[in-house]
Chains A and B, each alone.
Chain A
Amino acid sequence: MAGLRTAEGARRAGYTGPIEFLGAEAHAPYNRPPLSKELLQTEGQGHADVAFPIRSALEEGVSWVLGRAAVSLDAERRVVVDDAGDEHPYSALVIATGLRPKPLPIDDHGLGGIHVLRTLDDAVALRSVLRPGANVVILGSGFVGCEIAATAAKNGATVSVVTQSRVPLQRALGSLLGAEMRRRHENHGVRFFTGESLFGLVGDPSVERVILTSGVMLECDVLVVAVGSDPNTEWLASSGLDVSDGVLVDAGLRAIGSDGAVRPDIFAVGDVARYANPLFDDVARRVEHWNLPTETGKRAGQLIAAHLAGDDCEPLAAEGFAPLPSFWSDQYDAHVLAFGMTYLADRSELVAGRVDDECVVEFFRGDDLVGVCGIGMRSAVQAYRTRFAPPAPPSSG
């Protein structure tokens, strides 16, 4: 997604030269959020239901090399090597390789019935086993885990969520809203095992039961591992870039080397990029919200067009980059919409409505508003957008 948005952004900024997409998946770019929601629930939905439309600006001068993964980058020679051994030379490189789910934290003994969810193929495989009556155990209670729980429960599966947190969605939504989301899940029959992890698996050739650290044993036909993600940066190991946690970039989305120097011809966008957001502070972070592939892509597109036109990119980069993160989640009839970085907060406060119905909750770090989240009440939540102002630029004196 971020790769696509960057290409569109470069075209919009006047770049007319060739563009090559190199993608590990066999599919053209598609929208991931439905993978845990509509597509997971609706038999027969596939790529056509989630594919991003390809704008006319990308109809010409674009080549798609799909089903091939990049395995290394030689930044000196400016070539990317793929898993078939082919070399892809570039004038400007965009790293948009996203994340992949963390694996099961214990040995899986090669058992069947263990799933993760990131790609369309993952979703189709999981959908085929989320049958009514199936015993589904979900490890992890972040957004992906909770959305799968909601979809599986709606499909009539028996769902258990196993999580180390005290309440689901704790990191993103805090205790107040997390507890409320738990109540809503429980109303739909989902059971929670909090402060728990997996101790062992029983079954052969497929998982049949899981044993939790407390000793509780759960029937399990389908085990879904949703315990967070890792950036896809292994292929950059010898590139000389700082990939200690995603690809470190400056305010122009330009990659920074492990030597601290900016690489003017290498950009990183979307979930894999790590950058500081002056709306909040100067700490570089990876942020996994859906609007940021678009925001980072547009911005990188501008700089790429300028760089390839031979223009000085510094003034553009110096403008700074302060996108307002936004995320949403649909679970049952709860439409959650948030702006900002709620997980930086040390406290949250109900400011409108009732948590068990519709509400707005503000999130603070110290005295600073860092996020807002609503269940329903969309206009009220949208109105907060203008409340996140970047700090005044330091006076250059």
Chain B
Amino acid sequence: MIRIDVDMNKCQHYGQCVFEAPEVFQLNADDKLEYVAEAPDEMLADLEAAADVCPMQAILITRA
């Protein structure tokens, strides 16, 4: 499994991550980020891409 942590003090809800891994990251009706904290290993490339594009560099991906 892969663990996903978003530092919500850093996140500015830009939603860039949503386009790389929509299965994990979503903007809700108030334009706030929601995400799931775990994802299968196959998603590693998408999740790294999401971490790369985050303007605030708020996303931490770890292999659990």
Q: Give the B-binding residues of A (Cβ under 8 A).
A: 5, 12, 31, 33, 50, 52-53, 55, 290-291, 294, 326, 328, 330, 335, 337, 376-379, 382, 385
Query: Roughly how many angstroms separate A31 CA and B54 CA in the complex, as a whole number?
Result: 11
User: How far is the CB of B35 from the nearest CB of chain A, in Å?
Assistant: 15
Query: Roughly how many angstroms separate A61 CA and B15 CA in the complex, as a whole number?
Result: 34
Shortest 7 CB-CB contacts between residues of A and residues of B: A378-B31, A382-B15, A294-B52, A31-B57, A378-B15, A379-B27, A328-B55
On whether the beta carbons of A12 and B45 are closer than 8 Å, the reply is yes
> Residues of B contacting A12 with CB < 8 Å?
45
On whether the beta carbons of A379 and B55 are closer than 8 Å, the reply is no
On whether the beta carbons of A291 and B57 are closer than 8 Å, the reply is no
Query: Roughly how many angstroms separate A382 CA and B26 CA in the complex, as a whole number?
Result: 12
> Residues of B contacting A376 with CB < 8 Å?
31
Closest A residue by C-beta to B10: A38
Closest B residue by C-beta to A293: B52
Q: Among residues 30 to 62 in chain B, which have CB atoms less than 8 Å away from a CB atom of chain A?
A: 31, 45, 48, 51-53, 55, 57, 60
User: How far is the CB of B24 from the nearest CB of chain A, in Å?
Assistant: 16
18 A-B pairs whose Cβ atoms sit less than 8 Å apart in the complex: A5-B52, A33-B55, A55-B48, A291-B16, A326-B16, A328-B12, A328-B14, A328-B55, A330-B12, A337-B14, A376-B31, A377-B31, A378-B14, A378-B15, A378-B31, A382-B15, A382-B27, A385-B19
4 further contact pairs, Cβ within 8 A, besides A378-B14, A378-B15: A33-B55, A52-B57, A290-B55, A379-B27
> Residues of B contacting A55 with CB < 8 Å?
48
User: How far is the CB of A27 from the nearest CB of chain B, in Å?
Assistant: 15
On whether the beta carbons of A335 and B14 are closer than 8 Å, the reply is yes
User: How far is the CB of B23 from the nearest CB of chain A, in Å?
Assistant: 16
Q: In the complex, which of the residues A5, A55, A290, A379 has the most CB atoms of chain B within 10 Å of its own CB atom? A: A379
In the complex, whether B3 has a CB less than 8 A from a CB of chain A is: no
Query: Roughly how many angstroms separate A12 CA and B48 CA in the complex, as a whole number?
Result: 11
Query: Roughly how many angstroms separate A249 CA and B23 CA in the complex, as a whole number?
Result: 35
In the complex, whether B21 has a CB less than 8 A from a CB of chain A is: no
> Residues of A contacting B15 with CB < 8 Å?
378-379, 382
> Residues of A contacting B4 with CB < 8 Å?
none
Closest A residue by C-beta to B52: A294
Query: Roughly how many angstroms separate A52 CA and B54 CA in the complex, as a whole number?
Result: 12
> Residues of A contacting B16 with CB < 8 Å?
291, 326
> Residues of A contacting B53 with CB < 8 Å?
291, 294
Across the interface, A378 reaches (CB within 8 A) one of B13, B57, B60, namely: B13
Closest A residue by C-beta to B57: A31
> Residues of B contacting A31 with CB < 8 Å?
57
User: How far is the CB of B42 from the nearest CB of chain A, in Å?
Assistant: 15
User: How far is the CB of B45 from the nearest CB of chain A, in Å?
Assistant: 7
Query: Roughly how many angstroms separate A376 CA and B48 CA in the complex, as a whole number?
Result: 26
Across the interface, A382 reaches (CB within 8 A) one of B12, B18, B51, B57, namely: B18
Query: Roughly how many angstroms separate A155 CA and B48 CA in the complex, as a whole number?
Result: 35
> Residues of B contacting A50 with CB < 8 Å?
57
Query: Roughly how many angstroms separate A385 CA and B52 CA in the complex, as a whole number?
Result: 18
Query: Roughly how many angstroms separate A12 CA and B45 CA in the complex, as a whole number?
Result: 9
On whether the beta carbons of A382 and B55 are closer than 8 Å, the reply is no
Query: Roughly how many angstroms separate A239 CA and B12 CA in the complex, as a whole number?
Result: 43
> Residues of B contacting A385 with CB < 8 Å?
19
Query: Roughly how many angstroms separate A52 CA and B58 CA in the complex, as a whole number?
Result: 11
Query: Roughly how many angstroms separate A365 CA and B41 CA in the complex, as a whole number?
Result: 44
Query: Roughly how many angstroms separate A350 CA and B41 CA in the complex, as a whole number?
Result: 43
Closest A residue by C-beta to B30: A379
User: How far is the CB of A302 from the nearest CB of chain B, in Å?
Assistant: 13
> Residues of B contacting A5 with CB < 8 Å?
52
> Residues of A contacting B45 with CB < 8 Å?
12
Query: Roughly how many angstroms separate A377 CA and B15 CA in the complex, as a whole number?
Result: 11
User: How far is the CB of A122 from the nearest CB of chain B, in Å?
Assistant: 19
> Residues of A contacting B12 with CB < 8 Å?
328, 330, 335
Query: Roughly how many angstroms separate A251 CA and B63 CA in the complex, as a whole number?
Result: 34
Query: Roughly how many angstroms separate A330 CA and B60 CA in the complex, as a whole number?
Result: 22
